Amino acid sequence: MFNKDEVRTRFAPSPTGYMHVGNLRTALYAYLIAKSKGGKFILRIEDTDQERYVEGAVDIIYKTLKDTGLIWDEGPDIGGPVGPYIQSQRRDIYKKYAEELVERGGAYYCFCTKERLEEMRRIHEASGMPNKYDGHCRHLSKEEVNELLAKGVPYVIRQKIPETGETTFHDEVFGDITAPNETLDDNILIKTDGLPTYNFANVIDDHLMGITHVVRGIEYLSSTPKYNLLYEAFGWEIPTYIHCPPVMKDATQKLSKRNGDASYEDLINKGYLTEAVLNYIALLGWSPGGEREIYTLPEMVKVFDISGISKSPAIFDNNKLDWINGEYIRAMSLEKFHEIALPWIKKGVKSETDTKLIAEVLQPRCVKLSDIPEQLDFIDKLPDYSADLYVSKKMKTNYQNSLSSLKEAKAVLEKLTDWTRDNIHEALFGLAASLQVKNGIVLWPVRVALSGKQFTPGGAVEIAVMLGRDESLSRIDKGIELLKKVQ
């Protein structure tokens, strides 16, 4: 079996599509709790809701967890002492425990038809009452139940909630929470198809798999009293609960898969790095304390503590993610950045060019990889641009001095036989010195002529190297002709 003294957490996603940011955060916190205490992280697939099952979704779960480094110790693909780890393969287990719960008096058979339940729902709705099962089958005698079962009448098994009193549970984030039992519904444990509901299966599985810490979203907080009652009815030890506040799009809207909000795959496709995404998601509702915000996964394991999880909803801040992503990019070696940036560079540049130089120029300024193609679109072809770009109050350039600078720059650059970065730098900066003007008077118009853009990933020198001698001189000629027209 398993070591009963070790911390055991689980990530139990439903295979319904992409890995949403909130789901990944749940997996991360469960992983960090286990690993920070030397415990085990278990992966379980909760696929009892077959109508929502999406083909290929399990593979997405595997890939996302592997990409982010959240490697499980037990799971469907590698096995373990308490498998199977896919709920649909545990069907007989749930039925057995549901029947045991009936014998213990904690559950009962319900034979109500869909029509009766629908009529009850309409009555509750019309009267403004919450739709709660009325306990119609709750007090059937054993003989009546057996007779209906023998006739093959369809049934579900419902939890028998105490009609009086209250249920209190403790959550590590929200403290002690009490719910009057009369407000709780006799929810279904086993459906007519013999499969369990989430509310039942997760309790059975968590117990049988020895889960000590249950990490999940705050939306399950209201159902936890029912889970506690199930644990108590079986005489089982109740796990430690950690309910996490939601990740919000803004102050009023939750991030939602249905609304097309960020999944892990979306963020990677937008050019964010896996390490940066994981780092940012960790900070969505958890604080390590202090000013530091950049943490690798092993560093998170060392500092993670449940007490750092906030009660307040976390707002997904793209600007903060951009900053963290930029920090990871700048911390890379040039070789590594060149490697990951190369596919994006090739999207922006089709012609032969020095991609290593482009990466070197991009790295100090790059926020996310998907910004790269647009920044390089001038290399293959000079865009049409307005002469107004040559006018800069900051650089104190205007049509007249820009035209003069371009003519002078062309003259010194034409003399270069060895078109290197150092030689171009010396020629242009030397020109500014000889003209006794600020560097920007020369460099700004040259950069505009070479790129046709107001903002570029590098300066005039780097762009000239990227374009090569002939293309650079040709573009400076075009800049001169454009400025002559506005004189």
Q: Which two tokens stand for residue 210?
A: 């020895």
CATH architecture of 89-244: 3-Layer(aba) Sandwich (3.40)
Q: Is the dihedral of CA 209, 213, 216, 218 positive or negative?
A: positive
* Residues taking part in catalysis: 257
C-beta contacts of 285-292 below 8 A and 24+ residues apart:
285/25, 285/244, 285/245, 285/247, 285/309, 285/310, 285/312, 285/313, 285/314, 286/29, 286/310
Q: Between helices 224-234 and 198-208, what is the axis angle to 10°?
A: 50
pLDDT, mean of residues 130-140: 93
Average pLDDT (420-430) is 97
In CATH terms, the fold of domain 387-485 is Arc Repressor Mutant, subunit A (1.10.10)
Asked if residue 313 has pLDDT above 60, the reply is yes
Q: Is 137 annotated as a binding residue?
A: yes
- Cα atoms in the Cβ-side hemisphere of radius 13 Å centred on 113: 4
pLDDT of residue 256: 66
Q: How far is CA 332 from CA 329, 341, 359, 362, 363, in A?
A: 5, 11, 12, 12, 9
Q: 461 versus 254: which is more confidently predicted?
A: 461
pLDDT band at 260 (very low <50, low <70, confident <90, very high): low
Angle between helices 334-348 and 355-362 (to 10 degrees): 110
pLDDT digits (tens, 9 = 90+) for 13-35: 988 878 889 999 999 999 999 99
Q: Is 170 annotated as a binding residue?
A: no
Residue 158 has φ and ψ, to the nearest 5°, of: -110, 150
114 marked ligand binding residue: no
CA distances from 387 to 53, 402, 413, 478, 485 (A): 57, 10, 22, 11, 9
Tell whether the model's pLDDT for residue 358 goes beyond 60: yes
pLDDT at 261: 63
100 HSE (CA, 13 A, CB side) = 13
Lowest-confidence range among 215-219, 253-257, 287-291? 253-257
Kindly report, residue by residue over 41-99, the tens digit of the pLDDT.
Answer: 999 999 877 677 778 889 999 999 999 999 999 999 999 999 999 998 999 999 999 99
Binding site annotation covers 366?
no
Q: Domain locations in the chain?
A: 89-244, 334-380, 387-485
Give me the residue label for tokens 């093959």.
Answer: 152
Please answer whether residues 263 and 257 qualify as being in contact, where contact means their C-beta atoms are separated by less than 8 angstroms. Answer: yes
Q: How far apart are CA 438 and CA 451, in angstroms?
A: 21
